[in-house]
Structure formats: structure tokens, C-alpha cells
């Protein structure tokens, strides 16, 4: 049976209190999920419960509450480990989000393994968070940043990538799923090619984690970065997955409490993984909330989510793509969640404002991916990004809204 068929979206919608509200007198149509997802009631409840019943600092107290908070916090780590099928829970490092995860690798791995004359490879369709940390590293070390080109559909040119690999390349960092175009990159192939030359690969999974089943051992990626808030969890919590042997060989980036074993003024011995990278009191509420979000997503089923969203994206591509004047930006064969487009001569911001008056939330702008915009020679696009709680009726509302924008500007 087609898994999308058995998907009861109306029941799912009941889990998200925010979806019941009206905006500007119209039912909210939330199509800005690539920016951040909405939160189910179970996540909201978990955060409230934590502060109402469990709040204490972790890893520090002998008292009841501290032990309770520590257990909840560490249980969430195990949930995350299982969610992405990591070998060990200590390979899960809590961060503030995918951005911090990538910065952590650039700073720590970079400090140890990247030197003048080395090369870092990223791709044209990266989010700024997977560009700028590597630029900073290159500035500091004298390494060179190289960029995998894409074709007019927004797909990476893998043959050109293979040509770029050489002994000077010390890291390949690419998005699993592009936030601006929706392209699903052939990451397994990328990893195979890089590993054949012993080059580690970091995947920016900020967009992929809520939409695709991620198995870091099957992918065999060295690092995987993602954010809680894009996958039904709270803001301010994210994950860096790293294979143990890398994390063990990398120096800490932040010093402070929790990341040490023994401190004297002469020498400090660092704590074991994962605490070596988690200085200071962490985002306990965020970790617990993310753990619950992951349980919720697993309950719905990532494969079912992916199948339903695929059907929805195909529908949206057909309906929106058929509107005269609409040009789809990003037409890769393998896509998920994201529909980026321009409407005739109308600036995406004007489209966004007009849709907003209809209660429809989309993103208008460069999506923190200015090089992609430049590649397609547009200053900005309008972007509708789907989640598993969106419906075909909402796509129809979007289509009507776009048509109205065309009328206003005709």
C-alpha cells in the first residue's frame, strides 16, 4: 500500500495548536517550514513540565531534581542517537543548532587538521551557515575554499566534484537537502568518492532531518549537523553527530564547566565525549523538548512523512508551476519539501505581503543562500516549504493567493 494513502493529515493537524488560529481573518496556512517548523502539543507540554516539575542543573547535583533533570537530558541524547542510528550516544553533541554544529567542526577539526595550502570543498547550493564557517577557517589557516558547481536544475555536478578531489582536500561539507531549492544531494555517492581518498565528509542536515530518514551509519558520513527547531523541537538546541574517532582526536572549542575532568592552573584534563564539547550549563529544556519531538516524529514515521510530503510537493509543483508567470527555481529530479519560485516581474516580497494578508506564510528573500540566487540570476525567490501537517487545500489557497498577486500587479 502507498504509505501516503494511510496518512490522516487532519488528525496530525490536531496535534499542533498553532494551526488552529486565524491570521488577518483567514485560517493560517503555514508554508514556511524550512525556516522553522511548528511544535506539537507534546513538545510544548514537555518544556512546561520540565520547568514545573524537573528543573535543576545537570551533571552537578547529588539531589533528586538534579538527577531527574540529568536523566531526562541524557535520555534525549539516546533518543537522538537511535533516531539517526549513531553507533554511540557519546557521538551526539548538543549544540545551539546546525549553524553552531558546523562552526564547531570548522573550528576544532580545522585547528587540528587544516593547514596552509589545504582545500575545503563545499557546494554552490549551501546555506550561509555551511559557507561562512569554512571561509573563516580558510582566512585563519591560508587554506582554499572550492565550490562544487550545479546545473540549471539545481543538481550538483558529481563528475566535476570527483575531479576536484586531491590530496590537499581536508574536508567536504555539503547540504543533505538544499534549503533554497529543495534538491536532495546524492550524498552517498559524495561520501564514497571522498572516502576513496580518505577525506572526511560533513553533511548539513538542517533541512533533511525533518523530511528524510537519516541513517548516519548507512551514509557513513563523518559528521552530521542538524537543528531541533526545524523538526518540531524548540529553538536553541541542535546536534552535531561525529564519528568517535574524529571527536576524540579533535580539541575542545569552548572551555568551562562540564567539559573538564581535572583543572589546575598548570594543566587541565578534558572530560570524555560528549562533554568535552559541551562547556557550561546546557539548554536542558531544549534537549528534552527535542527528544520528545523525535519521539513524536518517529511515532508518525519518517518514511510515511517523506511519502506524504513527496505527494504534496508533486501536487504543489504541478499547481503552482502551471500559473502563468510563475517560474520554478530548482527542478532537480530528487527533491523534498521546498518549492522556490518567482512570479513574473513581481518581487517576492510583494508576493509575500499579499499572501500574508490571506493568512499564508511563505518566505521571500535569498534564504541565506545568496550564491544560489546569483547562480540563477535572481535577487530573491518566494519559497513555500512543506511539512507533513500541510494539505492540498493549503496548496490551493497558495495558488489562489499567487493569482491574486498577479492581478494586483497586472
Partner 1 sequence: MRWLKAFSGQSKSSPEFEIEIDWEMAELNELYQQVILDHNKKPRNFKRLETANRQQEGYNPLCGDQLTLYLEMDGDVIKDVGFQGQGCAISKASASMMTTSVKGKSKEEAEVMFEEFHQMVKGELDPESEQNHLGRLKIFAGVREFPARVKCASLSWHTLHAALEGKGEAVTTEDEHRQD
List interacting residues with partner 1 (CB under 8 A). Answer: 24-25, 346-350, 353-354, 357-358, 364-366, 370, 373, 379-380, 400-401, 404, 407-409
| Residue 149 or 379 having the CB closest to partner 1 | 379
Q: How far is CA 200 from the centre of its chain?
A: 20
Cα(223)–Cα(242) distance, integer angstroms: 4
231 sits in which H/E element? none
With a CB cutoff of 8 Å and minimum separation 6, the contacts of 79 are 291, 294, 295
Q: Give the residue from 396, 388, 386 showing the smallest Cα distance to 31.
A: 386
**Nearest distance from residue 358's CB to partner 1, in Å?**
6
Number of residues written out for the chain = 410
Are the C-beta atoms of 231 and 306 separated by less than 8 Å?
Answer: no
Q: What is the dihedral of CA 138, 144, 145, 146, to 10 degrees?
A: -170
Are the C-beta atoms of 228 and 290 separated by less than 8 Å?
Answer: yes
| Residue 298 or 357 having the CB closest to partner 1 | 357
| Residue 182 or 348 having the CB closest to partner 1 | 348
**Is 232 one of the catalytic residues?**
no
Please pick, among 138, 221, 232, 368, the residue that the annotation labels catalytic.
Answer: 368
Place of cell 553527530: 241
Are the C-beta atoms of 341 and 389 separated by less than 8 Å?
Answer: no
Assigned C-alpha cell, 32? 514556511
| Residue 113 or 409 having the CB closest to partner 1 | 409
Could you count the other beta carbons within 10 Å of the beta carbon of residue 52? 9
**Nearest distance from residue 357's CB to partner 1, in Å?**
5
| Residue 49 or 404 having the CB closest to partner 1 | 404
Cα(365)–Cα(381) distance, integer angstroms: 6
| Residue 222 or 358 having the CB closest to partner 1 | 358
| Residue 31 or 312 having the CB closest to partner 1 | 31
Are the C-beta atoms of 210 and 390 separated by less than 8 Å?
Answer: no
**Nearest distance from residue 84's CB to partner 1, in Å?**
32
**Nearest distance from residue 350's CB to partner 1, in Å?**
5
Supply the DSSP symbol for 372: H
**Nearest distance from residue 394's CB to partner 1, in Å?**
16
Complete DSSP assignment for 252-264: PSS-STTSEEEE-
The number of CA neighbours under 13 Å toward the Cβ of 275 is 18
Assigned C-alpha cell, 22? 486565524
Cα(233)–Cα(154) distance, integer angstroms: 29
With 0-12 CB in 10 A as exposed, 13-18 as middle and 19+ as buried, what is 395? buried
**Nearest distance from residue 85's CB to partner 1, in Å?**
37
**Nearest distance from residue 29's CB to partner 1, in Å?**
14
Assigned C-alpha cell, 368? 541565506
Active-site residue set: 368
Amino acid at each position: 500500500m502507498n504509505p501516503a494513502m494511510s496518512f490522516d493529515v487532519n488528525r496530525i493537524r490536531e496535534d499542533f495548536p498553532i494551526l488552529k488560529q486565524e491570521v488577518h481573518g483567514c485560517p493560517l496556512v503555514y508554508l514556511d517550514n524550512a525556516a522553522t517548523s511548528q511544535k506539537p502539543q507534546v513538545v510544548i507540554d514537555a518544556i512546561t513540565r520540565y520547568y514545573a516539575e524537573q528543573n535543576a542543573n545537570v551533571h552537578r547535583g547529588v539531589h533528586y531534581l538534579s538527577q531527574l533533570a540529568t536523566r531526562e537530558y541524557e535520555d534525549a541524547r539516546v533518543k537522538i542517537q537511535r533516531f539517526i542510528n549513531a553507533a554511540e550516544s557519546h557521538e551526539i553533541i548538543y549544540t545551539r543548532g546546525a549553524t553552531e554544529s558546523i562552526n564547531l567542526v570548522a573550528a576544532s577539526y580545522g585547528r587540528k587538521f587544516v593547514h596552509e595550502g589545504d582545500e575545503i570543498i563545499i557546494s554552490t547550493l549551501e546555506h550561509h551557515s555551511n559557507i561562512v564557517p569554512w571561509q573563516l577557517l580558510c582566512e585563519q589557516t591560508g587554506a582554499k575554499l572550492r565550490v562544487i558547481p550545479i546545473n540549471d536544475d539545481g543538481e550538483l555536478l558529481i563528475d566535476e566534484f570527483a575531479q576536484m578531489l586531491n590530496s590537499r582536500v581536508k574536508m567536504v561539507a555539503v547540504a543533505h537537502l538544499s534549503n533554497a531549492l529543495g534538491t536532495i544531494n546524492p550524498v552517498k555517492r559524495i561520501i564514497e568518492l571522498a572516502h576513496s581518498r580518505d577525506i572526511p565528509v560533513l553533511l548539513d542536515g538542517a533541512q533533511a532531518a525533518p523530511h528524510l530518514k537519516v541513517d548516519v551509519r548507512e551514509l557513513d558520513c563523518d559528521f552530521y549537523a542538524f537543528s531541533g527547531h526545524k523538526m518540531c523541537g524548540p529553538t536553541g538546541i541542535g546536534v552535531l553527530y561525529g564519528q568517535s574517532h574524529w571527536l576524540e582526536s579533535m580539541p575542545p572549542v569552548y572551555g568551562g564547566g562540564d567539559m573538564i575532568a581535572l583543572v589546575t592552573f598548570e594543566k587541565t584534563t578534558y572530560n570524555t565525549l560528549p562533554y568535552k564539547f559541551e562547556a557550561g550549563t546546557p539548554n536542558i529544556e531544549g534537549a528534552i523538548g527535542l527528544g520528545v519531538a523525535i519521539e513524536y516524529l518517529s511515532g508518525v514515521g519518517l518514511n510515511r512523512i517523506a511519502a506524504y510530503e513527496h505527494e504534496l510537493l508533486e501536487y504543489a509543483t504541478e499547481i503552482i508551476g502551471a500559473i502563468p508567470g510563475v517560474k520554478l527555481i530548482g527542478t532537480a529530479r530528487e527533491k523534498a519539501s521546498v518549492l522556490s519560485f518567482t512570479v513574473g516581474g513581481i518581487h517576492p516580497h510583494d508576493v509575500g505581503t499579499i499572501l500574508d494578508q490571506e493568512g499564508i506564510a511563505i518566505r521571500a528573500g535569498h534564504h541565506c543562500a545568496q550564491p544560489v540566487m546569483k547562480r540563477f540570476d535572481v535577487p530573491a525567490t518566494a519559497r513555500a516549504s512543506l511539512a507533513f501537517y500541510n494539505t492540498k487545500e493549503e496548496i490551493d489557497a497558495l495558488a489562489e493567493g499567487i493569482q491574486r498577486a498577479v492581478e494586483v500587479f497586472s
